[in-house]
Amino acid sequence: MIKRLIQKIKDGTALQILQELRWISRYSRRYLWAIGWYILLGILGTVISIAASVISKDIIDIVTGYRMGYAVQAGVIYVVMQLTTIGLKAAVARISVRVQLRVSQELRADIFRKILCAQWEPLSAYHSGDLLSRCSRDTDTVAGSIISWVPSLTVNSLQFVGTFLVLFWFDRTLALLALASAPVTLLLSVFLVKRIRKHSQQLRQIGSETTAFHAETFRNIQFIKAFHAIDAYCGKLTNIQQKHKEATLEHNRFSVLTSSILSLVGMVVGGVCCLWSAYRLWGNHITFGEMTLFLQMSGSLSGAFGALVSLVPAAITAATAAGRIMEITRLPAEEIHSKEQVDHLLQTGSGIGIRVEDVCFAYRSGKEVFQNVVFQAEPGEVVALVGPSGGGKTTLLRLMLGMMPVQAGSIQLCGGEPELKLCASASTRALFSYVPQDNTLFSGTIAENLRITNPNATNDMLRDALRMACADEFVSALPDGLDSRVGESGDGLSKGQIQRICIARALLSDAPVLLLDEATSALDVKTERTLLENIQHFRKGRTCIVTTHRPSVLSICQRAYLIQNQAVTQVEEGKLRQMMEEF
């Protein structure tokens, strides 16, 4: 056993589990009062249970004539103790659920916030379904361990020690016989630690894959139907289910085998204890009551030790879940600085310029996007970014938003009197309104979607923003107007309607810089021109940066930049006219 423990330390398994359990313990400190009550009630219940067993011995001895005395009183005390035990179990169950819910919700909220505050690029490597599984299933497992593991360890240890002492008091040999299963159980648990962890990791990974598959499938039902791919996706589900079935059956086979071995050991030890008690009774060394007590106590001792050993796989399962959560929480957080200066610029309402100087950027995958890029947009200007798909237009907008750090150079936001120069970060994101390419409406009412950027906006403000975005007419025509509900990703509206609502939402934030990423691609030319003219007049001095392939947008831009071959170059006026003609 010692050699195996040393091997587990060498291969890092034990150390990793210890780190994960230590991470759980840091969360446990917040709930010491609840854990304390849980332990106190458990200890009280254990003491009463042991005392009730001793009293039941006396009752049997009185009934069988081995002794005289307080039969009625003992019966009343025994009943009161049993009722008290039932009440304590009910109280423990109630407290356990209440505390576990609180721990689970607080832990979920904490992990949820850390996910949202993580840097975009490393976070994007995880599937949304996997993040959902870690934020729900894994957090529930950790929350359950926080409220149950330490109390169970304490209560079962007390029960084990107390039961052993009672047995030792009455019969030392029987006490030692009842402990015979302990070495086998302990050796088996140490031997199986790595196997238990492997199964736990495998099942949780498959659970994440299943959640991810369902989430992605349900989000793209329209696509699946359009391409007549229903049978193909049902086939994929069958494959995933088969994988889950094989892993579950393997884990079940492992669990059945180990539990059978433990049960066999327990049966042998229980049989030996029974034979020893019968031998002692046959020799008139003990009474019937004492024999009953011995059998109860030996079973209780084995049960307490088994419960202690069962905490090992429970701890490993909790540690595995904690490790998956830790992996997410250790993602680099977004940089937040210059918050006071950003607030000052927002209060003054000054125009904001953007200066990109000698920026180099490459994704973590190794794909280089920019080399020594220079770009400039002054307050009040409309600047276009043009170029082939995949050239880096959206990436440049993300860098401006501080979603990802640049490897070299700087992106600065300049404004105010005297002029402030702030490096792009999560804080400076407050200076931007952003309309991405994808559908970004959430399930809910149109008003709820609009108020995401301005929770205090009145209905009149919502209508003004919709009018500027050329969306007021079709929204007013809906049965419930602003209170009309839309489905996930704007289901129920056309792409052009979704784009206009997204633009209205961006205008509501009243930020000094507006980023439009192919935001008018689904609109007709007339509507697009009207909308862009409205944007120019909606807030004087607003800097607007658009990515586009359409000449109607280029015609209102003061400048345009061509993005291709890892470079950003300003397009001369003659070249710009030529590009408009070619479009």
403-378-544 Cα angle (round to 5) = 60
Residue type, 49: S
Distance CA(580)–CA(583), nearest Å, equals 5
% of the chain residues with pLDDT over 70: 85
Nearest to 120 by CA among 389, 399, 322: 399
Residue type, 454: N
Contact 127, 135 (CB under 8 A): no
Contact 383, 394 (CB under 8 A): no
Residues in the chain: 583
Torsion angle of the four alpha carbons 151, 153, 158, 164, in this order, in degrees rounded to the nearest 10: 160
SS in 3 state form for 245-284?
Answer: HHHHHHHHHHHHHHHHHHHHHHHHHHHHHHHHHHHHHHCC
Nearest to 331 by CA among 116, 125, 20, 118: 118
End-to-end alpha carbon distance in the chain: 75
Instruction: Give the three-class secondary structure for 383.
Output: strand
Report pLDDT for 355.
92
DSSP state of 137: I
Residue range 201-259, pLDDT digits in tens = 788 888 888 888 887 788 777 778 777 788 888 888 888 888 888 888 887 787 777 76
Report pLDDT for 82.
77
Q: Which of 128-132, 171-175, 480-484 is predicted most confidently?
A: 480-484
Report pLDDT for 6.
47
- Domains belonging to the chain, first-starting first, are 2-329 (1.20.1560.10), 339-582 (3.40.50.300)
| pTM, to two decimals | 0.74
Distance CA(55)–CA(74), nearest Å, equals 7
Distance CA(516)–CA(197), nearest Å, equals 48
The side-by-side arrangement of strands in the sheet containing 513-517 is: 432-435, 513-517, 543-547, 382-386, 559-564, 567-570
Average model confidence (pLDDT) across the chain: 79
Question: 386 CB contacts (<8 Å, ≥6 apart)?
Answer: 393, 547, 548, 549, 554, 560, 561, 562, 563, 571, 579
- The residue that leads in pLDDT, 75 or 217, is 217
Residue indicated by tokens 């007339």: 526
Contact 103, 147 (CB under 8 A): yes
Nearest to 490 by CA among 437, 452, 443: 443
The separation between CA 407 and the C-alpha centre of its own chain, rounded to angstroms, equals: 29
Neighbours of 528 (CB within 10 A): 22
Instruction: Give the three-class secondary structure for 461.
Output: helix
Contact 474, 483 (CB under 8 A): no
Average pLDDT in the 373-390 region?
87
Residue range 446-471, pLDDT digits in tens = 999 899 888 888 999 999 989 988 88
DSSP state of 332: P
H or E segment at 373?
strand 368-377
Contact 583, 388 (CB under 8 A): no
